[in-house]
Amino acid sequence: MTTVSNPVAIAVTSLDAHVATYGACGVWAMFSGGDDSLTASLIAAQSSAFRGCVHIDTGIGIPETQDFVRETCRQQGWLLRVYRASDQQQRYEDLAVQYGFPGPAQHFRMYSRLKERALRQFIREHKTLRRDRLVLATGARSTESVRRMGSVQPVRRDGAKVWANPIHNWTKIACLDYIASRGVPRNPVVELLHMSGECLCGCYAKPNELAEIALWYPTVGAHIRAIEQRVSAAGKPCVWGKRPPGQRASRRRVSELCVGCEAE
């Protein structure tokens, strides 16, 4: 029996095994535009069951990241499906006006409204039979978060969704080395801000993060400042990225799509 030691081959083999184990009808890469999701997408594309990439437009992100996702998929010849929170009648600024800018305690609400509902639409469109399963390959890594260390498993089923994390035990350096070895450009947003910028809900924003965003992407910064004025007029907590007084982090688990958001 031959032992497979190549980490890329191991990751691809694991995805194929998940398809067989769960009787899935395909592998889709959840491509946010960050380094980790790019790595996972490059790996997922080597699976015989690969169908394409999924990108969720939260409505509060940096447009250049979605441009990067589209261009990468075009260059790689990957099918891309983009799902928008606004198509589910969910707009970030409306949520902020209603509840105030979110802190950690409202992270689950933001995930549910801005990502999960759009993801459900994707599942409805691609699940043809009642017992169909779809393998969703993410870039979630165990070493990405101190608080959640060890919580990222190779695979986790959630109804029709089979969350597969082919690089769960990879390091950041391993991801960057693999991207470089494939000759694929990285997202310029990541190189400037050290995050994908596909979701700027602000639940776990770092100090001065908005100032840094505004420095490189002034249109996005101005948009968030305009939302702050609306939220202030509504009498709600109105500073983006600042935890509302007395609010603690939620212990409620969100999906692998937000593991990086909760890193501390």
**What does the pLDDT read at residue 148?**
43
Report pLDDT digits (tens) over 148-181: 444 678 899 999 999 999 999 999 999 999 999 9
**What does the pLDDT read at residue 258?**
82
**pLDDT higher than threshold 80 for residue 255:** no
**What does the pLDDT read at residue 201?**
95
**What does the pLDDT read at residue 174?**
96
**pLDDT higher than threshold 60 for residue 256:** yes
Look-up of token digits 């949520």: 95
Give the DSSP H or E segment for 110. Answer: helix 107-111
Q: Which of 188-192, 215-219, 249-253 has the lowest mean pLDDT?
A: 249-253
Residues with Cβ within 8 Å of 211's Cβ and at least 6 positions away in sequence, in order, are: 221
Burial of 199 (0-12, 13-18, 19+ CB in 10 A): buried
CATH tag, 7-96+107-198: 3.40.50.620
**pLDDT higher than threshold 60 for residue 130:** yes
Report pLDDT digits (tens) over 180-209: 999 999 999 999 999 999 999 999 999 999
**What does the pLDDT read at residue 54?**
98
Global model pTM greater than 0.85? yes
3-state helix, strand, coil split of the chain in percent (to 5) is 45, 10, 45
Query: What percent of the chain lies above the pLDDT cut of 90?
Result: 79
**What does the pLDDT read at residue 1?**
31
Long-range contacts of 72-78 (CB under 8 A, 24+ apart): 72/31, 72/38, 72/41, 72/184, 72/185, 73/31, 75/184, 76/42, 76/45, 76/184, 78/29, 78/41, 78/45, 78/52, 78/53
User: Do the bridges between strand 134-137 and strand 50-57 make them parallel or antiparallel, or are there none, so unpaired?
Assistant: unpaired
User: Bridge-partner residues for 52, per DSSP?
Assistant: 28
**What does the pLDDT read at residue 137?**
98
